[in-house]
Structure 1
Amino acid sequence: MTTFFSPQDQAKFSKFHLRSVLTTGMGVFADGYDLSSISVVLPLVLASFGIKALDTLESSLLAGSALAGATIGALVFGQLANKGRKRYYGIDVGLMAIAGLAQAFVPNVMTLIIVRFILGLGVGADYTLSPMIMGEHANAKDRGKSMAFGFGVTWVTGAAVSALLDLGLTTLGASPDLVWRVVLGASAIFPASVIYLRRKMPETTRYLARVEGDTATAARIISEIDEKEIAPIDPKAIKDPNSAWHYIKKDPKRVIGPVLLWFLFDIVAYSGILFGPSLIAKGLGLSAVSFSLLNTALFTIPGAVIGLSLLDRVGRRPIQVLGFIGMAGALIAFGLYSGSVAAMVPTTGLILYGLQNFFSQVGPGSVSASGILGVELSPTKARGFVQGLTVAGGRVGAMIAAFVFPALFKAYGESFAIYFLAATAGLAAVLTIVLIPETKGLSLEESSSDVIVLEGDYLPSFVEP
C-alpha cells in the first residue's frame, strides 16, 4: 500500500532513527531503574524505619505506589497525546528527575510512598509517550527491533544498574541507610540527562499529517528521515476527520487485546520484579542483589537479545505465544521443585526460576511490555488514548502483583503463589492467539487499519489493503 508515509516506512535505518531510539530509550532506562530499584533495597528501607517483615502493608505500598502513579500518568498523558506527542515530551522525565532525587531525603515510609507515587506519574507518562513517538518515527522494517531495544533492552539494563550500584556501595562498606537513599536518589540522573534532547525531537509525521493536517511540516520531516525531498499534499487529502471513539467502537478487539495482555503479563512479571529479590531469593539462600544480578545477566538480558533478533523476522504473535508458554512451563517446574524438597539447591532453583525470566523477555517482554501492540493496532487518531489505556492495564496488573502475590505467598506458600503465576501466563498465551493479528513488516496504517476513502479531486492517501 503506497501512502504519504511510504518514503518514511521504506527508509533505511539512519542517524535519525538511532537518535530517536537513544533519546526515548534513556527515559525507559530510567523507568527500569526506578521500578526495579525499590525491590533491590526494599529490605533496607523497611529495616531503616523499624519494619522487620517483608510481607507487611508498608512493603506492598512501597512496591505499588509508583505503579499507582503510573496508572494515572498513563491515562492522563494518553489523552494529552492527541494534542501533540512532542508537546508533553520532557514533562515525563522532569517529574521522574525531581521525584527521583527527593527519594534520598524522605524522613519516613509514608513520605517515600507519596514521593514514589509522584515518580510513577512521570513513569506512566513516559510509558505512554515513548513507544508512540518511537513507533511513529520508525521505518516499517525495523520498527519492532527499534521499539524492543528502546523499551525492552534499556529497561532491563536500567534494572541491572540499580542492583550494581547497590552492590558497589555495599562492597565499599556504606551504611544500609546510605545505600538505599543513594540507590533511589541516583534515579534522577538518567531522566535529567535527556530532558533537552527530548524537547529537541521533532513532532511525529503521523500526528502532524493525520491529526493536525500540517502536511508541509510532515513532508519536511519525512524528507529528513528518508534523505530525499518529497512534496506535501493538500491537508484535506490526509487529515483524519474521525474521532478516536469512532475507531474504538469500530473494532474494540484492537483495544481489549493489548490492554488485557499487558495486564496479565505484568501480574506475572512484577510478582518477580517486586518480590523475587526478597521472598523468592530468601528461599534460595541468596541475597537480593545476587538474585537480581544473576537473573539479569544469565536470563533476562539474553532473552531480550533473542527477542530483539526475532521480532521483525518471526513476528510479534508467535514469539509472544512461545514466551508465555515458556514462562508457564518454567514456573510450574519451579513450583514443583520448591514444593518437593526441604531446602532448595540454589543453582537448580535459580535456573528453573530464571528460565521464566528468559522466556518472559523473548516473548511478551519484547512485545506487549514494549508497547508495540498498542502502537501498531490503533490508528493515529486513537493511538494516544489506546496506548494510555494499555499502559494503565499493565500498571493495574503490576499493582495486583504488589498486593496479591505476597498475600498468596504468606497464606498458601511459595508453590501455590508460583502456580497462580503459571496459570496466568498460560491464559495469556491463549488470548494472544485469539486476540492479536500479526503486524510484522506492515506500515502503521496497514497494521492498524487506518484507512480513509476519499472522493473528489484529492489524491487518495490510503486505499483499502
Structure 2
Amino acid sequence: MPQTSTKPVKKKNIDFVVAIATLGALAFGFDTGVISGALPFMELPFSEGGLSLDATQVGVVTSSLVLGAAFGGLLSGRMSDSVGRKKTLLLIAALFTIGALGTSFAPNVAIMVTFRVVLGLAVGGASAIVPVFIGELAPTDRRGTLVARNELLIVTGQLLAYTTNAIIATYFPDDHHTWRYMLLLCTIPAVGLFIGSFFLTESPRWLIDQNREGEAKTVLWQLRSTENDAEIEAELQGIKDHSEKMRQATSGSFSDYMRVPWVRKIALIGIALAFLSQMTGVNSVMYYAPSILIDTGLGTNAAIIATIGNGVVSVLAVAIGSLVLLPKMKRRRMLLTGQIGVTISLFLMGASFTFLPESTTRSYLVLVFMMSFLFFMQCFVAVIFWLMLAEIFPLRVRGKVMGMAVFANWFANFLVALVFPPLQEALHGKTFFIFAFINFLTIFFYWKFIPETKGKSLEELEEHFQKTLA
C-alpha cells in the first residue's frame, strides 16, 4: 500500500497553474491565426519577398500544419498516458518553438511545409492535452469555467495574431520580410509555455492511475483551497476507488477496454463530435478570412485589418459563453443553439456572396455574417466541444481516446484547409452552401447522441455512462 505524503510547505493557486497550461492554447491560437495575414504576402513573387504560392500551394502550406496537428493529437494522447501530462506539455512547448522559428526563416515552400508540420504536431498536442489536463486538475464545481479558458486563450491567440498581422502589414507593406515578421512572433507564447511548464503540477488522476498515491495527495493539497485534510482524503479516496473499479472491469489493455460496449460508444460519440465541430467550416474563416474578403472586392490591407473584427468577436463570444452562459445553461442546449446559429449564418454568407453584385456593401455584409457565424461557433459550439471532450472519456483510456478524437478533429480541419482555396476559386460564395448543408445534418446528430455532463464529477460521469450506454 503506497504511503501518503505529508503536507507540502507551499500551496499553488489553481488559476495560476491553469494560466500556464493555457499558454499552450494561446500558442495554438496564434499559430493557426497568423497564417491568414501572412498568406497574401507569401503569394507574392520571389522578387518581392514572397514564395510565389498558387492556389494549390496555399492549401498545402495551410493544411500541412493541420495534418501535423492530427498526428500530434494522436501521438500526444498516447504519450500523456505513458509519461504524464506535464512532460508531454514540455515537449509540445519545444516543438512550438522549433516550428515557429523554422517557418519564419523558411527559404522555400518545401522547408515551409516541413516546419508547418512540426508546428502542427505541437498544435495538435496542445489541443489534446491542455483541456484534459485542466479537467483533471479542476474541482468539479469549477471544471466547466476552468476548461473553457482553453478556448478563450485559443481565440485570444488568434486575435493577437490578427492584430499583429494588421500592424505589421500597415507599417511594413513593402518590406520583403513582412510575412516572416508575422510568423516569428509565434515564438513568444511558445517560449512562455516552455518556461512555465517547469512550474506545473502533474495530474492527480494520472498519478493515481500510476499507483503514485502520495504524489497525488500532494497535488490535491496544493491545488485545493481547503486546509481540511478530511476533504482532501475524501476526494483522493473517491478517485482511488473509481480507478480501482475501472481497473477491475477489464484486463487493463487499451484494446480490451475499448471492447466494452459503453466505452466504445462514448468514444465514438466523442470522436464524431470532434470531427463534426470542424465541419462547421470554422477554419475556412480563421485561415482564409482576408482571402475571402479580397474575393468580395475588398483591398488586401483593408481585408487584413477587417479580420481583427473576427478576432474581437471570437474573444467576446468565448468570454460570454464561458463566463456568463456556461454556469447557467445545460451543455446540450448550448451546443444545439450554437449549431443552429452556425448553419443559418453560413447560409446567409453564401447568399450574400452569390446573389449580390461586387460592391463594398457585399464585402461588409459577408463580414457581418462571418462575424455572426464566429459568434455562434465560439460562444456555444467551441466552448462546449472542448469541455465535453475533456469530460466524457474514461480515465483509463482518456489520453489515447482524446488523441483519437483530436486526430479526427484535425483531419476534418485538414480537409477543409486543403480543399477550401480551390473550391472558393471555382465556386466563390457557393462553397458556404455546402458547409450549411453539412451543419444542418449535424444538428440532428447532436440532438440524438450528445449526452448532458453538467454537474457531475468525472468519476460520476463514467459510472453514468456505464449504466446508460451498456
Question: Which TM-score band applies after superposition, normalised by the shorter structure?
Answer: 0.7 to 0.9
Pairs within 5 Å for 1:259-270: 259-267=271-279, 268-270=281-283
* 2:148 matched residue in structure 1: 148
CA distance in 2, matches of 1:233, 1:373: 24
* 1:165 matched residue in structure 2: 164
Distance change >3 Å, CA 350–CA 452, structure 1 → 2: closer
Distance change >3 Å, CA 235–CA 429, structure 1 → 2: closer
Point out where structure 1 has 5 or more consecutive residues left out of the alignment: 1-13, 454-465
* 1:220 matched residue in structure 2: 218
* 1:4 matched residue in structure 2: none
CA distance in 1, matches of 2:257, 2:337: 30
Point out where structure 2 has 5 or more consecutive residues left out of the alignment: 1-10
RMSD: 2.4
Is 1:35–2:32 an aligned residue pair? yes
* 2:5 matched residue in structure 1: none
Distance change >3 Å, CA 357–CA 451, structure 1 → 2: closer
Pairs within 5 Å for 1:433-452: 433-449=447-463
2:14 paired residue among 17, 20, 45: 17
CA distance in 2, matches of 1:446, 1:315: 17
* 2:317 matched residue in structure 1: 303
* 1:249 matched residue in structure 2: 259
Any conservation in 1 of the 2:70–2:411 contact (CA below 8 Å)?
yes
Residue 194 of structure 1: how far off its partner (Å): 2.1
1:358 paired residue among 375, 386, 392: 375
Identity value in percent: 25
CA shift digits 1:33-63 (9 cap, x unpaired): 1011112110101214478987622101111
The structure whose residues are more often helix, as a share, is: 2
CA distance in 1, matches of 2:239, 2:341: 48
Any conservation in 1 of the 2:59–2:420 contact (CA below 8 Å)?
no
CA distance in 1, matches of 2:350, 2:26: 31
1:45 paired residue among 42, 46, 54: 42
Residue 400 of structure 1: how far off its partner (Å): 0.6
* 2:446 matched residue in structure 1: 432
Any conservation in 2 of the 1:335–1:418 contact (CA below 8 Å)?
yes
Distance change >3 Å, CA 275–CA 105, structure 1 → 2: same
Residue 281 of structure 1: how far off its partner (Å): 4.1
Is 1:118–2:118 an aligned residue pair? yes
Residue 388 of structure 1: how far off its partner (Å): 0.5
Any conservation in 2 of the 1:141–1:312 contact (CA below 8 Å)?
no
Residue 375 of structure 1: how far off its partner (Å): 1.9
Distance change >3 Å, CA 109–CA 310, structure 1 → 2: same
Is 1:206–2:205 an aligned residue pair? yes
TM-score normalised to structure 1 length:
0.87
CA shift digits 1:312-334 (9 cap, x unpaired): 32022111111111010011122
Is 1:279–2:308 an aligned residue pair? no
Letter in 2 for 1:222: L
* 1:138 matched residue in structure 2: 138
* 1:461 matched residue in structure 2: none
TM-score normalised to structure 2 length:
0.86
Any conservation in 1 of the 2:17–2:201 contact (CA below 8 Å)?
no
CA distance in 2, matches of 1:82, 1:388: 10
Residue 247 of structure 1: how far off its partner (Å): 4.2
Residue 263 of structure 1: how far off its partner (Å): 1.5
Is 1:420–2:437 an aligned residue pair? no
* 1:343 matched residue in structure 2: 358
1:381 paired residue among 396, 403, 410: 396
CA shift digits 1:98-140 (9 cap, x unpaired): 2101222111112111111111111111111111111100121
Any conservation in 2 of the 1:327–1:359 contact (CA below 8 Å)?
yes
Distance change >3 Å, CA 262–CA 49, structure 1 → 2: farther
